[in-house]
């Protein structure tokens, strides 16, 4: 069984899936008392579009050879990946309540050793795009038409290895690779522009030889259109610069750097879930 039964181009339905993802993120983080709220919520629409629309994957057969691969380079946003895996059928959503427990497969950063559906263990920022290059090139050598999607944080672009990987992907014409930047403008220490300026992002990727798509990362129609367009591009990799809001979906989390690595209180959970109804 593939994911074809869950695939939908119905934007309204995808928006509802994203709300459900956010509810599960809030609940698991509150239960854990530890984890990353802001960047998980900002990426929820992107990851929803991937798992419920674009990715070819088999929840009942995670090692399916012809699957598309998703690499969460910003591994600290693990809750958004866990929510997607649970809601698409990789495991029972009750397991989400065990986030970050010492005996849980749902560790603070994704581990391919403990959880099926996680392609590679991530968390050391800057490495995901290099991993994605290797996987994409390997798929090409094997004659498979599978694609690789790599989600990066914008603060992560301050890592030099990202740009080495960007140069490599363009040089080898890795057109089965799509990078997505969750460009919410904030990182743990504040605004990205204050910590280490990363703009102009689109011009930098273009200069490195990439096809660049600049979108509203919370507009589901723009997201699915960009994913479709990326798949049509040949001869070069594509990056989708998704302009997002840290903590999106919960008004009192939105745009606040302090919620990068702080979880909701029980009261905040109650109010957040009301907003997400």
Give residue 255's domain range.
3-275
Number of domains within the chain: 1
Q: Percentage of the chain surpassing pLDDT 90?
A: 94
Output the pTM of the full model: 0.96
Q: What is the 3-state secondary structure (H, E, C) of the chain?
A: CCHHHCCCCCHHHHHHHHHHHHHHHHHHHHHHCCCCCHHHHHCHHHHHHHHHHHCCCCCCCCCCCCCCEEEECCHHHHHHHHHHHHHCCCCCHHHHHHCCCCCCCCCCCCCCCCCCCCCCCCCCCCCHHHHHHHHHHHHHHCCCCCCEEEEEECHHHHCHHHHHHHHHHHHCCCCCEEEEEEECCEECCEEHHHHCCCCCHHHHHHHCCCEEEEEECCCHHHHHHHHHHHHHCCCCCEEEEEECCCCCCCCCCCCCHHHCCCCCCHHHHHHHHHHCC
| pLDDT tens-digit readout, 173-200 | 999 999 999 999 999 898 999 999 999 9
Q: What is the mean pLDDT of the chain?
A: 96
**CATH classification at residue 129:** 3.40.50.970
| pLDDT tens-digit readout, 212-271 | 999 999 999 999 999 999 999 999 999 999 999 999 999 999 999 988 999 999 999 999
Q: What is the pLDDT of residue 3?
A: 58
């Amino acid at each position: 069984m593939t994911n074809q039964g869950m695939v939908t181009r119905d934007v309204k339905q995808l928006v509802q899936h994203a709300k459900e993802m956010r509810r599960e993120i809030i609940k698991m983080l509150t239960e854990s008392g530890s984890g990353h709220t802001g960047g998980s919520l900002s990426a929820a629409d992107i990851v929803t579009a991937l798992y419920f629309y674009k990715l070819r994957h088999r929840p009942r057969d995670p090692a399916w050879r012809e699957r598309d691969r998703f690499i969460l380079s910003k591994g600290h946003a693990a809750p958004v990946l866990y929510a997607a895996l649970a809601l698409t059928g990789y495991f029972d959503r009750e397991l989400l309540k065990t986030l970050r427990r010492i005996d849980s497969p749902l560790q603070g950063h994704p581990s391919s050793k403990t959880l099926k559906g996680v392609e590679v263990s991530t968390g050391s920022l800057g490495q995901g795009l290099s991993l994605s290059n290797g996987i994409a090139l390997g798929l090409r050598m094997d004659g498979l038409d599978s694609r690789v999607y790599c989600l990066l944080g914008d603060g992560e672009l301050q890592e030099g290895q990202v740009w080495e990987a960007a140069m490599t992907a363009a040089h080898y014409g890795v057109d089965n690779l799509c990078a997505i930047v969750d460009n919410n403008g904030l990182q743990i220490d504040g605004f990205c522009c204050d910590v280490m300026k990363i703009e102009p992002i689109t011009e930098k990727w273009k200069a490195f030889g990439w096809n660049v798509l600049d979108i509203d990362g919370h507009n589901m129609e723009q997201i699915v259109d960009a994913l479709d367009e990326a798949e049509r591009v040949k001869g070069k990799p594509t990056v989708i610069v998704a302009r997002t809001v840290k903590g999106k979906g919960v008004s009192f989390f939105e745009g606040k750097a302090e919620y990068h690595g702080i979880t909701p209180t029980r009261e905040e959970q109650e109010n957040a879930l009301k907003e997400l109804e």
